[in-house]
Amino acid sequence: MRVVVTGGGGFLGSHLCEALLRRGDAVVCLDDFSTGVPENVAHLLPDPAFELHRVDVSEGVDVAGQVDAVAHLASPASPPDYLRRPLETLAVGSRGTENALRLALRHGARFILASTSEIYGDPLVHPQEETYWGNVNSIGPRSVYDEAKRYAEAVSAAYHRAHDLDVGIARIFNTYGPRMRPHDGRVVSSFITQALTGEPLTIYGDGGQTRSFCYVDDMIRGLLALLDSSEMGPFNLGNPIERTVRELAETVLALTGSVSEVNHHPLPVDDPVRRRPVITRAREVLGWAPEIELTEGLSRTIAYFGARPDRLGVSAAA
Ligand code: NAD
Ligand code: UDP
């Protein structure tokens, strides 16, 4: 297959490009490097099956030659990133998604959308099944991301209905691993960076809020299973084991052996209280389930961050 990956220079996108190449597919990576970094895909450039184009997919998407599938991952994903780029986030979720859908339609290609657990907002139903419609504040600061992704799902479903486009929707829950930016502001990258540099860990609120953390390799297997199917979903993809942010902090401190203190900061506006996916649909239809435990995944991520102290903004790890 020849697969177009929008946002292929980001954290998840670069792992997806790599996995596709590893199994023999050709990859066209489209990225504007607004939140991704060229270094994520630099090692793929010598591969003749890999092409990289620096483009803003909100402006338009055109790819010459055969296209068998489009994986649309382009979008800021970390809250500080999308809060800093509110209009660009809305643009890439709306116009960017439409441009990627039109590309798939022109080529008769399969289209998969990287949607998010954020479409459930601050959920009133717990844990979250795909049948839950969500609880999103449509004018709050996070709405630029949540509503953009809700629109992206809506327009993808409409292309499926109106044009019979082969669409698949993945609702991705918090995913972590190597190639997260150390200072992207997400909780896993922040805690690891802070623990390794001896800075205080920044817990927002009392740390009693929960998330379910999925290791990147598991997520990429899930995205490939969706890509290879002709199922629309939507499918929750995430790890169903729920942890409090406080537990995550304790685990990172234990695994790094760090003596960092823990500081509490105000909880961000509209920060969801609980998050846990029901993954029965993905298990039964795609045959997918996560396999990597949190301590194992965190150890691998800590090793990645620790191997390059320069990335942490210090000359040596504390
Ligand atoms: P990321 O920020 O590392 O990657 C996103 C990539 O998209 C970046 O390389 C960025 O430069 C690129 N991009 C952004 N706007 C673009 C535009 N207009 N044109 C071209 N490229 C553009 O984030 P990630 O964690 O890899 O997330 C990838 C996708 O998965 C996103 O769509 C995100 O919403 C979704 N997702 C991720 C998570 C997670 O926990 N990592 C959870 C839910 C959903
Ligand atoms: N969080 C935190 N300290 C940080 C960054 C995040 O306590 O330094 C909290 C945040 O308030 C949220 C959870 O960790 O409750 C997950 O945040 P993240 O930004 O990683 O993902 P999202 O909120 O999008 O699920």
pLDDT of residue 316: 37
Cβ neighbours for 164, distance < 8 A, ≥ 6 positions apart: none
CB contact at 8 A, 70 and 43: no
Closest by CA position to 251, among listed 297, 314, 305, 186? 297
Place of tokens 């509503």: 147
Q: Kindly tell me if the per-residue pLDDT of 277 is higher than 80.
A: yes
Contact present, 134 and 123 (Cβ < 8 Å)? yes
- Of 253, 262, 265, give the one whose Cα is nearest residue 196: 253
pLDDT digits (tens, 9 = 90+) for 48-78: 999 999 999 999 999 999 999 999 999 999 9
Place 24 in a pLDDT band, splitting at 50, 70 and 90.
very high
User: What is the mean pLDDT of the segment spanning 114-127?
Assistant: 96
Distance from C-alpha of 77 to C-alpha of 148, rounded to nearest angstrom: 12
What share of the chain in percent tops pLDDT 70? Answer: 98
Phi-psi domain of 58 (left: phi exceeds 0; alpha: psi -120 through 50; beta: other): alpha
Task: Kindly state if the Cβ of 146 falls inside 6 Å of ligand 1.
Answer: no
- The pLDDT tens digits for 77-112 are 999 999 999 999 999 999 999 999 999 999 999 999
Instruction: Kindly indicate the confidence band of residue 314, based on its pLDDT and cuts at 50, 70 and 90.
Output: low
Res 301 pLDDT > 90? yes
Span from the CA of 167 to the centroid of ligand 2 (angstroms): 30
C-beta of 13 in contact with ligand 1 (< 6 A): yes
Rounded Cα distance between 80 and 83, Å, is 5
Looking at ligand 2, which residue's alpha carbon is closest to its atom 6? 187
- The closest-lying atom of ligand 2 relative to the alpha carbon of residue 188 is 20
**Mean pLDDT, rounded, of the chain:** 96
Give the strand pairing for 242-244 and 210-212: antiparallel
| Phi, psi dihedral angles at 5 (to 5 degrees) | -115, 110
Closest CA to 129 of 117, 137, 138: 117
At residue 312 the predicted structure's pLDDT band, cuts being 50, 70 and 90, is confident
**Confidence (pTM):** 0.97
Length of the chain as a residue count: 318
Using a 6 Å cutoff on CB, does residue 256 contact ligand 2?
no
| Per-residue pLDDT at 16 | 99
Instruction: Check 82, 120, 132, 145 and give the catalytic one.
Output: 145
Q: What is the pLDDT of residue 318?
A: 32
- The H helix count followed by the E strand count for the chain is 11, 13
Query: Which pLDDT does position 230 carry in this prediction?
Result: 98
Q: Tell me the pLDDT tens digit for each residue of 183-224.
A: 999 999 999 999 999 999 999 999 999 999 999 999 999 999
